Amino acid sequence: MAILKVSDLVVEFHTDEGIVRAVDRLNFELEAGEVLGIVGESGSGKSVSCLTLMGLLPIPPAKIRSGKILFGDNDLLKYSNAEMRKIRGHEISMIFQDPFTCLNPYLKISTQLMEVMEFHSKKTPAEARRRCLEVLEQLGIPDPELRFNSYPHQLSGGLKQRIMIAMSLLLQPKILIADEPTTALDVTIQAQILDLLKQINKDHGTSIILITHDMGVVAGLCDRVQVMYGGRLAERGSSDDIFYRTRHPYTKGLLYSIPSLTVKPGDRLDPIPGAPPDLTRVGDFCAFADRCDFVQEDCRTHRPPVTQSNEDGSHWFECYHPVEGEKNA
C-alpha cells in the first residue's frame, strides 16, 4: 500500500536568468515499509522534490506549479503552514547531508531533542527525557546521558548524524527522508549509519526515502530505486531491475561511471559526457538528449512517454530508445 503518492509535481524557481524547472511532472509512490532510493546527479531535482514533501521549499523563489502529494488521503500541498508543521518532524521527518551544520551550535543536544516532543506530543518533560535516552540507546550511542547533556561541537561527525537520526525518530514517523545522510562522513562511519537506517526500517517499519548519488549505497540498502535526471524520473524499478536490467541510457551511464575492483590501475572510468542540463531551457523533449549515445530525432521533439518494462508494471523508464536489459552491470 502506498503511503505517499506524488503525482504530476512541477516545481519551478524564478531566478534572474529565467524560470528553472527543478522538478518536471514527477510521479512516484512510496510503499509502506520500503526503502526507496532516489539517485541522480546534482541538480536532478531529488532534494527539491523531498523538500517539497516536507513543505520546506523557500517560496518565493520556488513555486509549486501543479501536482499532488497524497499522504494517506490528504494532499499535503493543500495543507496550511500550521497543518504542515504538525506533519513535519512527527509523521514525516528528515535528516540532512551535513550533521556538522545541521545541529544548532548554541543549544545543548538535550534541548534540540526534547523540543521535538515539546510541540508534537503531550509528554511531560520527564517522559520526553526518558524517550530521548531510550532512542539514543537504541541507536547505539555510547554513554547517552553524557551526549544528551553535551553541545554539538563536543561530538564527532558520526555521533552528530546519529543524534540527527535520533531526533527524527523520537515520534516514530511513518516516513523518514534521508538527504545524502552519509556524504559528509568517513567511509567506516558511512557504513554504520547505513546499517542503522536499515535496522530502523526493519524494526519499526518506517518507510525511508534515501536520496543519494552513490550507487553503492543504493545497492546495499534500497528495495526500489528511482533515477532522476533534469527534474524528471528517468527510470524506476527494484534494485535488481536498475542494476541488472538497466533500460535508460542515463542509468547505464551512471553504472559505468562507478569504479570497480576489476578496473586496472591506469584504466579510465567512463564518465557521462557533457554537463547536467540547463534547467531554464529544458522543454518538451528528453532532458538527457544532448548527452545520450543513443539519441535520435524523436528524442529532441517530444518528451518520451513513460514506458513499462516488465509485466507487473514495477519497472518503468522514460525513453524512446532504451538500452536492452540483462547486458549490463
Site of interaction with another protein (CB under 8 A)? 54, 56, 84-90, 93-94, 96, 98, 101-108, 111, 115-116, 119-120, 151, 153, 164, 167
Q: Which residue in this structure is represented by grid cell 533500460? A: 247
Residue closer to another protein by CB (options 32, 107) is: 107
Considering the complex, what minimum distance in angstroms separates the CB of residue 153 from another protein? 5
Residue closer to another protein by CB (options 51, 255) is: 51
User: 261 φ, ψ to 5°?
Assistant: -70, -20
Considering the complex, what minimum distance in angstroms separates the CB of residue 112 from another protein? 8
If we measure between CA atoms, which residue out of 284, 272, 283 comes closest to residue 248? 272
Considering the complex, what minimum distance in angstroms separates the CB of residue 158 from another protein? 17
Q: 14 in the Ramachandran plot: left (φ > 0), alpha (ψ -120 to 50) or beta?
A: beta
H, E, C per residue of 158-199? HHHHHHHHHHHHCCCCCEEEEECCCCCCCHHHHHHHHHHHHH
In one letter, which amino acid is 77?
Answer: L
Give the separation between CA 329 and CA 208, rounded to whole angstroms: 25
Count CB neighbours of 274 within 10 A.
10
Residue closer to another protein by CB (options 89, 230) is: 89
Residue closer to another protein by CB (options 121, 310) is: 121
Confirm if 309 and 317 have CB atoms less than 8 A apart.
yes
Residue closer to another protein by CB (options 120, 303) is: 120
Considering the complex, what minimum distance in angstroms separates the CB of residue 180 from another protein? 12
Residue closer to another protein by CB (options 102, 299) is: 102
Q: Which run of H or of E encompasses 228?
A: strand 224-229
**Considering all CA atoms of the chain, what is the largest pairwise distance in Å, rounded to the nearest integer?**
66
Considering the complex, what minimum distance in angstroms separates the CB of residue 47 from another protein? 11
Q: Which run of H or of E encompasses 4?
A: strand 2-15
Residue closer to another protein by CB (options 122, 268) is: 122
Considering the complex, what minimum distance in angstroms separates the CB of residue 49 from another protein? 15
Considering the complex, what minimum distance in angstroms separates the CB of residue 279 from another protein? 22
For residue 120, CA distances in Å to 26, 170, 178 come to 31, 10, 21
